[in-house]
Chain A
């Protein structure tokens, strides 16, 4: 257990429905990343926050995806009008963020989404 929690752990939904995932970081970790991982692939960067500011979004993140981090603590990732191609593991990682590129990213257990 890294101290990063994600909820729910599993989500099954029907195509067209909206889903929201939550990530609770390690306390005082000011950088937070969202990644997506499909079977047989490594994680792909989606977006990241420095405190409450969303500083970068990947081109993978279509307009149906939105992420927030109010107050710089927990973060939510919402997918609107889900499609079957959204089925994946969604991973959250947090970093203490003192400035070094080499700082370790601590991952949560992930939320596995299945869109039927």
Chain B
């Protein structure tokens, strides 16, 4: 069965510090993995996705994530946090069926302190 676990429901970093948001997955099929960001009262926006090509994936706004099959992980990083990065971040994995729905983690709220 497909599932996603995001460790840490709340992460707080200082502006300019490294951002690390953790995502571990479980999948009965080769996974496709996604990170989305949600700003307050807005919909979800794709940051990046892993589709079995390069294991290091670069996304928008300076974010990147590395797919590690041995660790079943897809952690999201950014070298230097900006105040505008404060948002909710969701990791998702593709469903195993033909419907191609996404299975989501509970999200991690990122706070950036000045």
- Residues of A with Cβ closer than 8 Å to B? 2, 4, 6, 31, 33, 40-45, 48, 55-56, 91, 93, 95, 100-110, 112
6 A-B pairs with C-beta separation under 8 A: A33-B101, A43-B104, A45-B95, A102-B49, A102-B94, A109-B43
For B104, the chain A residues whose CB sits under 8 A away are 42-44
Chain B positions within 8 Å of A, measured between CB atoms, are: 4, 9, 32, 34, 36, 41-46, 49, 51-52, 90, 92, 94-95, 97, 99-107
Q: Which one of B44, B45, B90, B102 has the greatest number of beta carbons of chain A within 10 Å?
A: B44
Q: Which residues of B contact A91 (CB under 8 A)?
A: 43-44
Pair count A-B, CB < 8 A: 65
Bound-state Cα–Cα, A103 to B51, Å: 9
Q: Which of A40, A100, A102 has the most CB of B within 10 A?
A: A102
**Complex-state Cα separation, A45 to B34, whole angstroms:** 16
Are B106 and A101 in contact, with the CB atoms below 8 A?
no
What would 5 more interface pairs be, CB under 8 Å, given A45-B95, A48-B101, A112-B41? A44-B104, A45-B103, A93-B44, A101-B94, A102-B32
Residues in B neighbouring A48, C-beta threshold 8 A:
99, 101
Chain B: CB-nearest residue to A4: B43
B106 and A40 within 8 A (CB): yes
Q: Is the CB of B105 within 8 A of A104?
A: no
Closest CB in chain A relative to B26 CB, distance in Å: 15
Q: With A and B bound together, what is the CA distance between A106 and B36 in angstroms?
A: 10
Question: Which residues of B are found within 8 Å of A43, using beta-carbon distances?
Answer: 44, 90, 102, 104
Enumerate the 5 nearest inter-chain pairs by beta-carbon distance, A residue then B residue, closest first. A42-B104, A102-B51, A107-B43, A107-B44, A45-B101
**Minimum distance in angstroms from A64 CB to a CB of chain B:** 21
